[in-house]
């Protein structure tokens, strides 16, 4: 389940990167959409709650970047 071609790339952002991105959107980290720690992709990355994940989607060559804020659960 962790490495299927249909699952877009999940990237763990460093805390400083996360801060930068939050600033870009002028919001705090908890205002990003959320993802559970128990999500297979998060387990794979080993990310703990409080971190920000970047998801690089590629829809027929159309690139779209999404973010997820990791929460407990």
Partner 1 sequence: MQAEIIDNIRFTTISPDMIKKMSVAKLIVADTYNEEGYPIDGGLVDQRLGVIDPGLKCKTCGGRAKSCPGHFGHLELVRPVIHPEFSKTIYLLLQSTCHSCHRILLTEEQVSDVKAAIKSFFVEDVPDENGTTVDITSLATTIEDSDNRLALFKKLKAVKKCPYCGTVQQKKKFERPTFFYLNNSRMKPDEVHDWLSKISDADVKLLGIDPAATRPEWFVLTTLLVPPVNVRPSITLESGERSEDDLTHKLLDIIRINQRLEQDIDAGAPQIIIDDLWELLQYQVTTYFNNETPGVPVARHRSTRPLKTLAQRLKGKEGRLRYTLSGKRVNFSARTVISVDPTLTINQVGVPLKIAENLTTPFYVTLWNIDEAKRLIQRTEYPMIINVIMKDGTRKRFTETNRDEILKALEPGQILEKQLVDNDLVLFNRQPTLHRISIMAHEAKVLPGKTLRLNVSVAFPYNADFDGDEMNLHVPQSLEAQAEARYLMQPKLQFLSPRDGRPILFAKEDELGGMFFLTRDGAEYSKEDACRMLASVGINELPKQTKDGTYTGKGIFSMILPKDLDFESKTSSGRIAIRKGELIEGVIDEKSMGGGGALIIKIFVDYGPDVATAILAKTSRLALGAAAQGGLTISIRDYYNTEKLDKERKIIADQVEAKAMELVQKYKEKKLDALPGYTRKETLEILVMAQLEEARHLAEQSLQKELTTENNAFLMSKVRARGNIVNMVQMSMFLGQQAVRGRRPSRGYSGRILPYFRKNSSNPEAKGYIKSSFFDGLSPTEFYMHAIGSRDSSMTKSLITAVSGYLQRRLINAMQDFYVDENSSVKDASGALIQTVYGGDGVDPMKERVAKNKMQKTA
The pair of three-digit structure tokens given for residue 2, joined into one six-digit string: 């962790």
Q: Which is nearer to partner 1, 4 or 63 (CB)?
A: 63
Q: Which residue ranges make up the site for partner 1 (CB under 8 A)?
A: 24-27, 31-33, 59, 62, 64-67
Shortest Å, Cβ 30 to partner 1: 8
**Does residue 35 contact residue 71 with C-beta atoms inside 8 Å?**
yes
Residue count of the chain: 73
Shortest Å, Cβ 27 to partner 1: 6
User: Dihedral, CA atoms, 24, 54, 66, 48, nearest 10 degrees?
Assistant: -100
Shortest Å, Cβ 47 to partner 1: 18
The residues with which 57 forms a beta bridge, in sequence order, are: 64
């Amino acid at each position: 389940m962790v490495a299927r071609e249909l699952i877009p790339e999940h990237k763990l952002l460093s805390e400083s990167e996360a801060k930068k991105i939050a600033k870009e959107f002028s919001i705090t980290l908890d205002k990003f959409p959320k993802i559970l720690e128990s999500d297979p992709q998060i387990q794979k990355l080993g990310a703990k709650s409080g971190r920000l994940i970047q998801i690089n989607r590629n829809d027929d060559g159309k690139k779209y970047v999404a973010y997820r804020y990791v929460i407990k659960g």
